[in-house]
Amino acid sequence: MKIVTVVGARPQFIKCAQLSKELRKQAEEILVHTGQHYDYEMSKIFFDELSIPTPDYNLEVGSGSHGIQTGKILMGIEDVLIKEEPDFVLVFGDTNSTLAGALAASKLGIKVAHVEAGLRSYDRTMPEEINRVLTDHLSDLLFAPTKSAVANLKKEGITKGVHNSGDVTVDALEHARSIAMKKSTILDTLDLTSNGYLTLTMHRPANTDDHNRLRTIIGALGKTGYPIVFPAHPRTRNALKDSGLLERMPPNFRIIEPLGYVDLLRLMSEARCIVTDSGGIQKEAFLLGIRCVTLRENTEWTETLVDGRNTLVGANETRILNAINAPYSSKRSKVMPFGKLGAPSRIAKIMASQ
Ligand code: UD1
């Protein structure tokens, strides 16, 4: 069996690392990097740290509007698929690379497998929600990470080819966490004490492109009294510059370059609290047993909203501060909504048996 795997953005590199190893035991894998993320800190560092094979193709599409980026990826992938004639195209998550990979394949009559199928925030203002819904409806094999993802697909009439495989992030996190605890020196480098700081990640257009919202969030976090370590996504750094906020950041902020997975995991593991608008980080905080405060009004990872482990606070100062200061039991959850270790090998076996 021949599989073309499509990745392009940071979280996809993390998700594909373990699965790629498993797939290569059973099938021929051709790896395509769309080039959606291209800076060293946004791309190559993940390939190096997680020993991901060098991509066979890099489409180098770079940045652009959604139409331009998706269109360029579509054109590039179509050429690869015509040349390689795979049995399956494998896509991850909900980015423009995901949708373009699925669309190019299905138009050529090539089967599509989607890892992280069935997630819904039911918020169509998020580009990711459009990408998720369309990709699921184009897919032949749908690897749902949770029971609720399976139920979401059923509501849309999708039952064929659906597998509750568990979440590939569980394996990715365990693998990288053991490396992080041995090798990462990020706490010493930044002179941080365990449990004495907050880790912030924020890159959603809803937060970065609305400067009033951005100002409110930064202002609220400035009042927490804790050092805030903020590995800033390029989109966010640009927004901070354009809004004039970068020169007037509250003194407790430490803005640093985006981090690789190993250092980010260490920084998350030892934080008092994680503040984020990312989807994947809400889930990682849950798996690590660290309190998460989410700068959104909704989440596709509803399983994390139990026992105060994750709180949706939007961009409201009072809600942000209350959630950060609420009592919290830091034990890791006994509930395992994302499944046990082994999703990558379960997915590889199902694919190889088609
Ligand atoms: C994308 C995904 C999002 C995912 C995120 C992870 C879509 C619609 N969104 O959002 O779901 O959570 O990746 O990071 O696919 N940029 C650089 N260097 C880079 C990459 C990006 O400078 O290496 C800048 C560019 O100015 C670009 C902007 O960041 O315009 C946004 O990048 P893009 O890939 O379009 O979307 P993300 O916000 O990263």
Q: Which residues contact 262 (CB under 8 A, 6 or more apart)?
A: 49, 176, 179, 180, 183, 184
Q: What is the DSSP letter of 352?
A: H
Site to substitute for ligand 1 among 36, 126, 300, most atoms within 8 A of C-beta: 36
Same fold, 2-167+339-352 and 175-325: yes
Q: Ligand 1 pocket, 237 CB below 6 A?
A: no
Burial class (CB in 10 A: 0-12, 13-18, 19+), 144: buried
Q: Ligand 1 pocket, 346 CB below 6 A?
A: no
The per-residue pLDDT string of the chain (354 residues; one tens digit each, 9 = 90 and over) reads 999 999 999 999 999 999 999 999 999 999 999 999 999 999 999 999 999 999 999 999 999 999 999 999 999 999 999 999 999 999 999 999 999 999 999 999 999 999 999 999 999 999 999 999 999 999 999 999 999 999 999 999 999 999 999 999 999 999 999 999 999 999 999 999 999 999 999 999 999 999 999 999 999 999 999 999 999 999 999 999 999 999 999 999 999 999 999 999 999 999 999 999 999 999 999 999 999 999 999 999 999 999 889 999 999 999 999 999 998 876 666 778 999 999 999 999 999 999
CA of 233 to the centre of ligand 1 (A): 8
Residue spans of alpha helices (H) in the chain: 10-26, 44-49, 66-84, 96-107, 127-138, 147-155, 168-183, 186-189, 205-208, 211-222, 234-242, 261-269, 279-288, 317-325, 343-352
Q: Whose CA is nearest to atom 31 of ligand 1?
A: 235
SS3 category, 206: helix
Q: Ligand 1 pocket, 70 CB below 6 A?
A: no
- The letter for the amino acid at 232 is A
Give DSSP secondary structure letters for 56-120. Answer: SEE----S--HHHHHHHHHHHHHHHHHHH--SEEEEETTSHHHHHHHHHHHHTT-EEEEETTT--
Q: What is the pLDDT of residue 327?
A: 84
Q: Whose CA is nearest to atom 27 of ligand 1?
A: 63
Q: Ligand 1 pocket, 127 CB below 6 A?
A: yes
Q: Ligand 1 pocket, 277 CB below 6 A?
A: no
Q: Catalytic positions, please?
A: 203
Which phi and psi angles does 256 have, rounded to 5°?
-125, 170
Q: Whose CA is nearest to atom 12 of ligand 1?
A: 278
**What fold, for 2-167+339-352?**
Rossmann fold (3.40.50)
Q: Which atom of ligand 1 is nearest to the CA of 93?
A: 11
Q: Which residues contact 327 (CB under 8 A, 6 or more apart)?
A: 308
Q: Ligand 1 pocket, 289 CB below 6 A?
A: no
Q: What is the pLDDT of residue 328?
A: 82
CATH of domain 175-325: 3.40.50.2000
Q: Which CA distances in Å does 56 have to 24, 76, 250?
A: 14, 13, 45
Q: What are the structural domain ranges in the chain?
A: 2-167+339-352, 175-325
Q: What is the pLDDT of residue 119?
A: 98
Q: Which atom of ligand 1 is nearest to the CA of 203?
A: 38
Q: Ligand 1 pocket, 129 CB below 6 A?
A: no
Q: Whose CA is nearest to atom 2 of ligand 1?
A: 95
Site to substitute for ligand 1 among 10, 16, 37, most atoms within 8 A of C-beta: 37
